[in-house]
Structure 1
Amino acid sequence: MSTTTSPLSLASVAKLLEEHHLLREIVAGDHWTIDADTVPGAHDPIPSITYDTREVKPGSLLFIKGRFKPEFLDGIDDKGLAVYVAETEYSDRTKAPGLIVDNVHRAMSLIAAEYFGHPERELTMVGITGTKGKTTTDYYTHAILNAYTHGHAAMMSSIAVCLDGKTFEPSKLTTPEPLDAFRMLREAADNGMTHLVMEISSQAYKIQRIYGLTFDVGAFLNISPDHISPIEHPTFEDYFHCKRQIIANSRTMVIGADSAHIGLLREDAAAHGAPVTTFAMHDPAAGLHTPADVVVAADPRRKTGFIAACGDEARPFELDMLGEFNFLNAAAAIAIAMKAGVPFDSDALAAIEHVQVPGRMERFIGGDDLHVYVDFAHNYMSTKALVDEMIRVYGERNPRITLVSGTTGGKAIDRREGIVKGALGRAESFIFTLDDPNFEDPRKICEEMASFVPDDGRQTVQIIVPREEAIVTAIAQAKESTERDGRFNIVLVIGKGHETRNIINGKHVWWPGDAVIVRRELGLDDASSQTASQTTQQPQA
């Protein structure tokens, strides 16, 4: 439930929806109309808005969206529902008038912005999208802006939300529902924030979660096939089209110069009058040398060091986070911050050096010959980048790499092959396990992933559905390899990152987190002695 000193009424909401060509009609019992003034109580103030029937109180406006069951409205009149906004009418369930619209998410976004007094107009808004690197770039950009504004930058990411420049709370969605997003923007503005950085998912544009929101700086990092499924994006074209909507909704753009389809991205920006700043990473060995406004290159003297250049100026940086691909994320953040007003020579840019992102390249050292990484890599592009980084950093030690991975059920089916393809030829051991199977049989998902590993004797394959057992087994086998053969071992536990739940049969089932299990098995955290099997349901396999 959200409350404010809103001047909204049924009449003003109807007028707003008419202005955006969303209102079809107003249904008040047997009275169907487009004239709000003919509806009793049309000018009564609306004290609260919500999309949860359990939060309705006298005078509330209710948004009806998604997989809504009509029986949720039973008894709603007794709670004092004043008006609802929906894509179909429910006059058989409630006496409250309904504003019937073409798209309830568009309507929610417009109404929420108005209800909370357009907080986005009080903030310098930064939106970041791309297939890979959104979260890390979000964290890097926030760190720079927070340093530059002396603690007055807010952030919304798939991991955490920070609305006061210092306090981080867990988030629920990469891009929140419109009502939640504008409530948080209002809180950030009221907290005295001057900037806000947020991740933008393809679904945010697919289902119009941020309709009407314009970014002062938009960023398009990269694009590759992902989230292709009947319940997400039916095709890559649809996925890419949704991602590209950030360009039409940004005043200026930062774009990865080496992104696939860069020509179309530039055409979009030109068509919408959004000036473009580019960023790139130069690595001659990998054939990367595209000119860009902000360029980074690895510093051969330091594994986590790079040189950033802008025009004739250059500066060295060294990150706390391992990963050469993070140099590119840092380049994006620097370019974004500069578009938001931070000079290239500002000390604030150094804030990226101390950023660590939960579940992204988290390293756990189990001795000189055993390193375990927990990472959110969950598709071909991110898995390949992760394994490439292991070879870059540890290649001279001839590492034995074990990949522990599963993938989601019911969506993004192409990830099953993509994850395997990203590690083939480098990983010597694959262990397939549980990762948000939802309504699918997790063993069948694992078997499908295993089918993409060639039976050529170059790698071993195991299916261990319980995730804790898979992680324990991978670490135990890595220790055995080190003791038996003297090999340096790397275990990559990917897919869940910071997440502490598995989606099983439509429900969120608690999971302690990959890092907790890794710490326990390496003897790094005695407080994590309780096993996942004692507290977590595992599906029958």
Structure 2
Amino acid sequence: MLKKLDIFLKEIGKDKIKGVTEDSREVKKGFIFVAVKGFNFDGHDFIEDAVKNGAACVVGEREFKDLNLKEKVAYVKVDDSRAALGRIAAAFYGHPSRKLKVIGVTGTDGKTTTSHLIYHLLSRAGKKVGLISTLLAKIGDRQYETGLHVTSPDPAALQKFLAEMVKEGCEYAVVEVTSHGIDQKRIEGTVFDVGVITNITPEHLDYHRSFEAYRDTKLTFLQTAKDFVVLN
């Protein structure tokens, strides 16, 4: 699918695409708008707004004929908008995770602390490293308030941060990975070299419904690690 997305971006003119977002309010001329069905709102209901704001292309799960759009726009139907968003964002930013050694840290407790510890250890070892946690992002001398505190950045923001790290000359990226972020495919399109898990105890069961589902969500992330996994 990644190769197909690269071809897709090339065909519509990657140089003409100015951004990728799932928020119709953020759309500007030349953006790709990905309609994602959320828990409270369905992005497909805001496609008309995205087109009015200048979307060059819309990606969604519904059939085009069912959208009843008043204005013409390029439309790509996919089976999973959430997965497509991460992969399109990764392709748009030049697949930055492929140019970094990415360490993902997950777990019930201690993942933020562990992410920051790994970041500081690599920094003290003389490595150029970036950090993305639920608290903040650090890239070079710059620090960004993510404003998240509970989950991973949205796919477009994550890929943008990683691309900034590549531009800054970073060799490593440490990324805190939450169960919500995994389940909502916020890390889709990101290649992780190392997966770290601190522990797994019952949490977020209001969201995952059962401990088994919560555990399995964490495990799906670990299974994507290219090189190795660190178990506490």
TM range (shorter): 0.7 to 0.9
Show the counterpart of 1:15: 4
Alignment of 1:188-337 (within 5 A): 188-229=165-206, 232-250=207-225, 251-256=227-232
- CA gap 1:149/1:128 in 2 versus in 1, 3 angstroms: same
Q: Find out whether 1:163 has 2:139 as its counterpart.
A: yes
Any idea what SS the aligned residue of 1:196 has?
Answer: strand
Unaligned 5+ runs, structure 2: none
Shift of 1:213: 2.4
Q: Which of 129, 144, 147 lines up with 1:153 in the alignment? A: 129
**Map of 1:182 onto structure 2:** 159
**One-letter amino acid of the counterpart of residue 224, structure 2:** N
Question: Which residue matches 1:298?
Answer: none
* 1:60 CA displacement: 1.9
> In structure 2, what is the equivalent of residue 172 of structure 1?
147
Partner of 1:86: 60
TM-score (norm 1): 0.38
Residue-by-residue CA offset, 1:346-385 (whole Å, 9 max, x unaligned): xxxxxxxxxxxxxxxxxxxxxxxxxxxxxxxxxxxxxxxx
Q: Does 1:62 align with 2:62?
A: no
Residue 105 of structure 2 is aligned to residue 128 of structure 1: yes
Deviation at 1:178, TM superposition (A): 1.1
Q: Contact 1:89 / 1:98 at 8 angstroms: preserved in 2?
A: no
- Show CA shifts across 1:317-337 (max 9, x none): xxxxxxxxxxxxxxxxxxxxx
Residue 171 to residue 86, structure 1, CA distance change in 2 (3 Å): same
1:89 to partner: Cα distance: 4.0
Determine which of 24, 34, 40 is the counterpart of 1:53: 24
| Secondary structure at the counterpart of residue 211 of structure 1 | coil
Q: CA deviation at 1:75?
A: 4.9
- Tell me: CA distance 1:54–1:13, structure 2 relative to 1, closer, same or farther (3 Å): farther
Note the aligned Cα RMSD (angstroms).
2.4
2: distance between equivalents of 1:156 and 1:113?
A: 16
Find the aligned partners of 2:183 and 2:102 in 1 and give their Cα distance. Answer: 20
Over the matched positions of the two proteins, sequence identity in percent amounts to 31
Q: For residues 218 and 77 of structure 1, do their structure 2 counterparts lie closer, same or farther at Cα, with a shift above 3 Å needed?
A: closer
Secondary structure of the residue aligned to 1:112 is: helix
SS of 1:137's partner is helix
Distance 1:224 1:77, change over 3 A: closer
Q: Distance in 1 between matches of 2:218 and 2:152?
A: 13
CA contact (8 A) 1:126 1:217 kept: yes
**Cα 1:70–1:206, aligned 2, differ >3 Å: closer, same or farther?**
closer
1:61/1:85 contact within 8 Å kept: yes
Q: Which has the larger radius of gyration?
A: 1
Aligned residues: 219
TM-aligned CA distance change 1:168 to 1:82, over 3 Å: closer
Check 1:62–1:148 CA distance in 2 against 1; reply closer, same or farther (3 A cut).
Answer: same
Higher relative contact order (CA 8 A, sep 6+): 2
